[in-house]
Each structure stands twice: as C-alpha cells, then as structure tokens.
Chain A
Amino acid sequence: MNRNLIIGTALTVMFLILAAVSFVWTPYDIEALDIPNKLQSPNGGNLLGTDHFGRDILSMIMMGARTSIAVALLAVGIGMAIGVPLGLLAAARHGSLLDELIMRGNDLVFAFPSLVIAILITAVFGASAVNAIIAIGIFNIPVFARLSRAAALPLWERDFILAARVCGKSATRISIEHILPNMTNLMIVQGTIQFSLGILAEAALSYIGLGAQPPTASWGRMLADAQTLVSIAPHTALIPGLAIVFMVLGLNLLGDGLRDRLDPRIRVVRT
C-alpha cells in the first residue's frame, strides 16, 4: 500500500459514509429554517455552525455530498457506458471510415469548453440536477472513447487476439471477451479521475445556479450563498469549499494510488 492510496481511500470513504448516512439521519432537518439561530459559528449544538437561514451546515454538507456524488457518479457512468463501446468499436475497425467518424466526433465535443456547453444545455433545457448529469456525462464520453481506443489498439496486435480470430470469433466478441477485461485497470483509474472532475463541474454549475435546485443541498450553491457573507461568517464559505477540496483531493490521490498499484510497469520501477 502506498501513502497516496491510503489517504485517498480514507478521504473518499469518509465522504461516501457522510453521503450514505444522510439517507437515514442528519443532525437537523435542512428544510427547517431557524432564522434567530442564523450564522452561528461552529459550536456544541451545530458542530459546523449555521448558515444565513439558520440551517445546520453539517447536515447540508452531508446532503450536499449525496448530491455531488450522485451527479458525478451518474455522469461518469454515462461517459463510460457510451464512450468505452465507441472506443472499442473504433479500435476494432481501426483505419476505417467508422473509426474516423467516431474519433472526429470526439474531437468536436472536445473542442468546446465543457462548462460552456453545460451552461448551454442547462440554460436551454432548464436548470436541474438531471440536466447537470447529462451535461457533465456528455463531456465524459470522448475521454473514455479516446482512452479505450488507445488501450485497445496495442491489444489488437497481440497474438492471443490473432488466436481468437483464427477461432472465427467476431470483432465484437473479441472486444468484449479479450480486449475489455485487459483494460479495466485503466478504466478504473480514469473513472476515479473523471469522478473528481465531475464533482468540480457539479459544484461549478450549482454555484452559478444551473445545477441542483433548492431545496436540494449542494456544495456549489452553499458557496454561492455564502459569498456575500464571507466577511461576517467566513465558516459558511470555508466549510463547503474545504469539502470540495478534500473530496477532489481524495479522489485524485485514490486514482494516482490505484494507477501505481494496478500498472505493473510502474510498480517495478518504484520498488
């Protein structure tokens, strides 16, 4: 076990637990306003203090973790579910017109700054968590398509693929049976990194009001709400900000650690 992997796993698991617990219990109800008790600094009653409506920040962080993780996870899921098959198809038909079409289509999506298009999509179809998921998901597609094509191409040159072709197996079948299992490591590592980018993107969209809508809690919107209050109650901005930082840091460290662990070439160099 290397240090990155341990810290990354610890941070990620911590947020996952916070999100999971929020389904059954939070210290306070986040929809209940308690104006007299607003902008309290962290104290015994509210461990992380309260916001401008007197809502408990710890409870909101827990609910926000749930939103962030759900949005990012589904977005990565969309990216993988569409991107990986596209990449495998392009690799199987390497050099064909289909390969060109898929990869140039990818370039097209890559060419636009992802947040701008996300803003466009949510602006056209309305701001909601679902539209945020779709918008972030679309930008995960070319990442996975390119990566899986690049991972599949050298595998196609291996003798065991030739042996499978001699056995009359179709390109689709070879892709599923032989290519996909040999690139899962790479997909897992890229998945964690895209997951952290998804968290960031969700926070950014919510910050500008295009992500999850009230009363759903979201770290990005907590930041937006807090920005005018920074001078009076800095903890209202600091706490959601730190939550984003640690979640993203944790996922990046986890991705790094997993790569070191799953890639045998790097492992040899390091030991």
Chain B
Amino acid sequence: MSLLEVKNLTLRIGATQILHAVDVTVGHGEIVAITGESGSGKSMTALAIMGLLPQSSDARGTILLNGTDILQTSEPDLCKMRGNTMGMVFQEPMTALNPVQTIGDQVAETILIHEKTSKADAHKRATAMLERVGLKVPPTRYPHELSGGQRQRVVIAMAIALSPKLLIADEPTTALDVTTQARILDLLRDLVQEFDMGLLIITHDLAVVADIADKIVIMQHGRVVEAGPTAHLFAHMQHPYTKALFEASSHAVDMPEAAIAAPLLQVENVARDYPVARKTILGPRPMFRALEGITFQINQGERIGLVGESGCGKSTLTRAILGLEDVQSGTITVDGAPVFTGKQPNLAVRRKMQVVFQDPYSSFNPRHRVDRLITEPFHLLQDPPTGPARDAAIASALTDVGLTPADATKYIHEFSGGQRQRIAIARALIIEPALIIFDEAVSALDVSVRAQVLDLIADLCRKRPLAYLFISHDLSVVRTVTDKVMVMRAGRIVEQGDTETVFTNPQHQYTRTLIAAAPQLPAIAV
C-alpha cells in the first residue's frame, strides 16, 4: 500500500469548484511533484492533504495517509499528525520562523510538542538535526542572522525533526537563488533516501521537477491532466497542456538581429556605498560597498542581460542608472549627459529611459485608470499630447502590447498579472525611450504568460530599434532575449561578453557555478 493515497478529491469553496476528482499517490522513499500554473489547484491539494483547508470549504473523496483518512480526522488528531507523521516546508523562509526565538529552540519545540522528553534531550536532538540539514551555524542563532537558504534549512530541520513519513514542500526553493536552490534540492533528495520518507513537492518550475521528482502530476484548472514517472512522462507527453507548459518553460524567443549604433548609456567605474548600523555607540558609521568598479556601455539598439543572485547589487545599479540615487564615484551618462543631477531631475535625460518592474501588483497606483497610468511618462515631455493626440497615443501604446484601446478606461485590478506587465511595458514605451530597464520583469509570471511577454518584447524590437538592460536571476530567460550578458557578484561585474559565448564557455568560476546550478529541462522534441 502507498504511503499517501489521494483519491477522487473534490473541493468546493463557496460556489467555486476548486478541485475536480484529483488523484495522487506517494510511496515510501518516493518524490512526487505536483506542478502547474497559478490557479491550477496545486497548493489547495497540498493544504487538503495537511488538513489545513479554509473553514468554508467542502472537500469530498479520500485522502489516506498511512491508512488514516485525513478528511475524516478531527482537528486535535490532525494536530498530532502534523509535524509527526507529516512534515511541511513552506515557500517563504523569511516568515516561516519566529524571529524572537533561536533556531535551536524552534526545532526543539517541534520535538517537545509531540514527544514527552526532557528539554535537554530535545535540544540535543535539535542540534543534531540542524547539523544533518547542513547548517554550519550554532543553534543559538536567531533567524535574522541567517541567509534565505540557511533559514530554509532550519525549516526543513523542523519538518523532519520527528522523521515524518511524508514531507510536503510547497514551492520550497522558489524564493531562493539558483545556487542555493540546487543545494536545497540535493538536501531534500538525500533526506528522502535516508529517512525513507515520501516527498510531495509543489512547484511551478518544470526544470526543478525534472531534476528531482520520480513521478510528476501536472494540474490545470483543478484537474490532473497528466501523471506518470518523470522520464516516461517527459518522453511521451500526451496532453496538449503538458506540451504547452513544457514548450513555454524552455521557450526560445525569436529575436530580430540587433541594429547596434552609437553609444547610449555609459557607466564608468561606478562605486556606491551605503552606511550601515554603527558597531560602537560613538564610532563612525561603517559603509557597505554595494557597487564597485562597475564599467559597461550600452549602445543604441543593444540588448544586454544582467544576472546575479540576490544582494549582488542589481537593484542598486538600476536605481543609479535611472538617476534616482547618486553614486560615490564614477560617472553614469546617457548620450554624454549625467543621469543624476541633484534634486532637479534632468528631464531631457530621463526621457530617454524607462523601467518595467518585477511585481505587477505594486507597479500601479490602484486608484488611477489605465489611461492615466500609462501616460504618466508624458510628464517628461515638454509638450505632451493632449485631446485626440493623447487618445491616439494611448490607443496605439495599448495595441502595441496586445491589449485593446477600450482597456484605457479600466482600473488595474481588472487585469491579470500578465496583462499588468503588458501595461507596464506600454507605460515604458509610450514616450519611445531609447533604453528600457527590465528589472526582473517576467520573474513573477507563470511560464506560459512569461513566454508571451518575452515574445512581445521581441516583437517590439522588430518594430523599432530598442535597447534594453534585462535584469534577471533566470539564466534561461536572459539567454534567449539578450545579445550580451554581464554576470554580477557582490557588487562587481565578474564577467561580461556575448551571451552565447558566456553561456557556452564561461570564464569566471562564479559564472560556471551559476550555470551548473540552474536546473535544466531535458531536451525533448515536442
């Protein structure tokens, strides 16, 4: 008998049908991945298995864990099972830990809740468990002293402290950098073998799935569309949605040839320091060097990628290029004019640059209509179009990004994440800037939507020469939409060159590590 058997699970919340007859099985020592895009019901399936569904939900079917039906089990009994028979790892390691308790205490607490044992024994076991998950810091540390990857290790240690039979991990690596992700996935794989656990991993990332899972369950709109052993499923995809998902994940954009002309943006030897908290009460404030010796150039029509992990200085560099913050040394110029001009921004320079941000939900003022949102850059023009000319500009900007002129009178909450990112691009393009900065612009999108937005960028490049700086942590995306790439680490550019050259023949050790750590989809003809 399998460890976990979900049969014919149907879930309703209010009048909405969330899950339709979902079947999932996980055996001992087996890694099963549920994958799908947002709204596919994968997280709800996980919540149902943990017995953590919202109050108003109505679940039917059976969820047998080790012979016990979760749906028929009372809440107090479920509490005994959680952490004991099943462990959980959540997406956000930043919020999953209690900030005022040491990590050793938190792991020990899990043990003390479920077992009648002494505090000393619990602490001893907690320390051993933290060592087992590869944490190289003492258990007396607090969560804020740890990095994201270290925190996720603590969360995993808590989840497996009582050697549960089933471990459920909901997007365990989504918030982590690629190199950290690779290490966490290795750890999970090792733990499954060592403890003979079943691991149910929920992720949107097909490459991660391909890397780790024994079996895959692909979900769409609350239904399981395809399931099977990983290698077999990838080799013989049946359902069109699986194929579409796979195609979108490894989507190669058809970029037009770059028409490179005169230099546009010149960044020379830029350094940026931030003051950090004083170490002693009256001592000088120490400085943190966020950028150091950054030198590069973007020519008109040139498409450059910037990759690096969190904290490497990507955002600081973006703000400096946009002229929002001054730098300590070095120069940043657009067409020879400096981008930072003190309190009064130089509109002539600002006009040449626009930006698209990562989060489609915080990029727009929720109280303005789309027409007002996308015409905001008109503020930079000396003589902005009014009346019919303004309407025409709005209509053409919206049409260019694949929306309709009628969308101009809607509010932003009426649009999906992908549509919002299109609106963000429309806002950036409406004054026809020479340079656009895409700051993780597609990172928050589902793979199929991401593929569409990338195609849109390629289309726009075809219509007119467009130079952009594409900042991303996702190597595969950068590879497909850029001509040149820069690799950044700890405030420095460690390698730059033609994208293909850098990816096929990386020179710097760090670039090699990054490329090796990025999970790969198996190459399969679809």
Q: Verify A160–B367 contact, CB threshold 8 A.
A: no
Q: Verify A166–B359 contact, CB threshold 8 A.
A: no
Q: Is A7 an interface residue (CB 8 A)?
A: no
Taking CB as reference atom, which chain B residue is nearest A180?
B367
From known contacts A158-B362, A181-B365, infer whether A164 and B376 are also in contact, taking CB-CB under 8 Å. Answer: yes
Listed stretches B350-358, B391-399, B486-494; interface member = B350-358
Q: Is A52 an interface residue (CB 8 A)?
A: no
- In the bound assembly, the distance between CA atoms of A169 and B358 in angstroms comes to 21
Which of B358, B364, B365, B380 has the most chain A CB atoms closer than 10 A to its own CB? Answer: B365
B443 to chain A, nearest CB (A): 13
Interface residues on B, range: 20 to 34
Q: Is A1 an interface residue (CB 8 A)?
A: no
Q: Which A residues, 174 to 193, have Cβ-Cβ distances below 8 Å to chain B?
A: 177-178, 181-182
Q: List the B side residues contacting A159 at CB < 8 Å.
A: 357-359, 362-363
- In the bound assembly, the distance between CA atoms of A168 and B377 in angstroms comes to 8
From known contacts A160-B364, A182-B366, infer whether A167 and B350 are also in contact, taking CB-CB under 8 Å. Answer: yes
Q: Which of B354, B358, B362, B364 contacts A166 (CB 8 A)?
A: B354
B379 to chain A, nearest CB (A): 5
Q: List the B side residues contacting A162 at CB < 8 Å.
A: 324, 355, 357
A173 to chain B, nearest CB (A): 8
The tally of residues in A whose CB lies under 8 Å from a CB in B reads 15
Q: Verify B376–A163 contact, CB threshold 8 A.
A: yes
From known contacts A178-B365, A181-B365, infer whether A169 and B357 are also in contact, taking CB-CB under 8 Å. Answer: no
Q: List the B side residues contacting A165 at CB < 8 Å.
A: 322, 324
Q: List the B side residues contacting A169 at CB < 8 Å.
A: 376, 379
Q: Which B residues, 344 to 402, have Cβ-Cβ distances below 8 Å to chain A?
A: 345, 347, 350, 353-355, 357-359, 362-367, 376-377, 379-380
Q: Verify B377–A167 contact, CB threshold 8 A.
A: yes
- In the bound assembly, the distance between CA atoms of A157 and B256 in angstroms comes to 36
Q: Which of B322, B347, B353, B367 contacts A182 (CB 8 A)?
A: B367
Which of A164, A165, A182 has the most chain B CB atoms closer than 10 A to its own CB? Answer: A165
Taking CB as reference atom, which chain A residue is nearest B363?
A159
- In the bound assembly, the distance between CA atoms of A159 and B364 in angstroms comes to 7
Q: List the B side residues contacting A166 at CB < 8 Å.
A: 322, 324, 350, 353-355, 377
Q: Which of A163, A177, A178, A181 contacts B357 (CB 8 A)?
A: A163
Q: List the A side residues contacting B204 at CB < 8 Å.
A: none
Q: Verify B350–A168 contact, CB threshold 8 A.
A: yes
Q: Which of A160, A167, A168, A181 contacts B363 (CB 8 A)?
A: A160
A240 to chain B, nearest CB (A): 42
Q: Verify B427–A168 contact, CB threshold 8 A.
A: no
Taking CB as reference atom, which chain B residue is nearest A181?
B367
0/1 interface trace, chain A 244-269, chain B, CB 8 Å (1 if under): 00000000000000000000000000
B417 to chain A, nearest CB (A): 13
29 of the cross-chain contacts (CB-CB < 8 Å) are A158-B362, A159-B357, A159-B358, A159-B359, A159-B362, A159-B363, A160-B362, A160-B364, A162-B355, A163-B355, A163-B357, A163-B427, A165-B322, A165-B324, A166-B322, A166-B324, A166-B377, A167-B376, A167-B379, A167-B380, A168-B347, A168-B379, A168-B380, A169-B376, A177-B365, A181-B365, A181-B367, A182-B365, A182-B367
Write the residues of chain A forming the contact surface with B, with a CB cutoff of 8 angstroms: 158-160, 162-169, 177-178, 181-182
